[in-house]
Amino acid sequence: MRSEVPMKANELIERYSSGETHFNGLKLPGINLVGADLIGIIFNEADLHGANFLLAYLNRASFTQANLVETNLSGANLSQADLSGADLRSAILHGAILQGANLRDTDITLAILLDANLVAADLRGADLSGATLTGACLRGANMRQEKKSYYTNLQAVNLTKADLQGANMKGVDLSRANLTGANLKEANLRDSDLRKADLTDANLKGALLTDTNFTGAKLTGANLTNANLVRAQMSHTDMVGVMAKGSVMTHADLSRANLSQANLDLSRMNHADLSRSNLSGASFKDAELVEVFLAKANLMGANLTQANLTRAELMSANLTGAILRGATMPDGRVRD
């Protein structure tokens, strides 16, 4: 149903209450529907610019291709709603419930999603660049990149203390994102772009980070226990005090990284590039370091007890004060 005459809020609610659900293509900019019960309503391609849906019930509603720029959806219940292709630029969704919602190809740039519930939401192809998702819950959300020209954009997004446990973020652009204290436990970030992202104190335990680009990222105090970082690009990263026990970093590039005081016990770093890296005070107990490139690396005070350094490049490394008890040296001999 299309109309050129703006409909008033009370008229829309009356018509909905009498059983009408299709309001496609209507022009309703600025309409005030605070707390309205509009479960299952259909607003496809409607112009709802600046509308107020504060605390509204919009479960299973459909807003495909709708104009929701600067719309207030704070506290609204949009569980299982279809917002695919909608324009949510600068919208306010503080505390909104978007559990299981379809947000594919949605423009959510600069939107406020503080403490929003996005559990199991479909965000494939969504543009969240510059959005604020502090404290948001995205457990099990799907942000997977579908193809090379089809990106889920989270550039410079604020995900401070967000819950992303188990989220599928394969190939997502998170460059310069703020993920301080975020929960990324067991998340899939394979092939993702995390260049210059801030992951201070983030929980990446058991995360899939194969081929992920962390160049210039900050991972101070992060938890990478049992994480898979095969072929990860981590040059120039700040990883002071990182917990990476049992992690797999084979063929990873950690050149010029700062891993001072890091815990890398039981890690597998075979063929990794650690040239010019700062490994002072780091712990590599029982680590696999076969053919690791440690040219000009700083290993002052590092603990390499029972580490396997077979064919590792150690000639120009600084080993002052390093503990090598029981370690297998590059020539295959075991140190007393």
Taking CA atoms, 335 is separated from 243, 290, 295, 313, 329, in Å, by 26, 16, 21, 16, 7
Residue 111 has pLDDT above 90, yes or no: yes
The DSSP 8-state label assigned to residue 332 in this structure reads S
pLDDT in tens, 163-199: 999 999 999 999 999 999 999 999 999 999 999 999 9
Provide the pLDDT confidence category of residue 315 given band limits of 50, 70 and 90. Answer: confident
Q: Give domain limits for the chain.
A: 206-336
Percent of the chain whose predicted confidence (pLDDT) is above 70: 97
Asked whether the beta carbons of 98 and 80 are under 8 A apart, the reply is no
* pTM, to two decimals: 0.93
Residue 4 has pLDDT above 80, yes or no: no
Mean pLDDT of 93-102: 98
Question: CA neighbours within 13 Å on the CB side: how many for 263?
Answer: 11
Name the residue among 175, 184, 173, 277 with its Cα closest to residue 222.
184
Mean pLDDT of 71-86: 98
CATH of 206-336, one of 3.10.180.10, 3.40.1160.10, 3.40.50.360, 2.160.20.80: 2.160.20.80
d(CA 158, CA 99): 19
| 72 DSSP β-pair partners | 52, 92
pLDDT in tens, 51-64: 999 999 999 999 99
pLDDT computed for residue 124 by the predictor: 93
pLDDT computed for residue 151 by the predictor: 73
- The answer for 286, left when phi > 0, alpha when psi is -120 to 50, beta otherwise, is left
Residue 1 has pLDDT above 60, yes or no: no
pLDDT in tens, 17-51: 999 999 999 999 999 999 999 999 999 999 999 99
For residue 144, count CB atoms less than 10 angstroms from its CB and return exposed for 0-12, middle for 13-18, buried for 19 or more.
Answer: buried
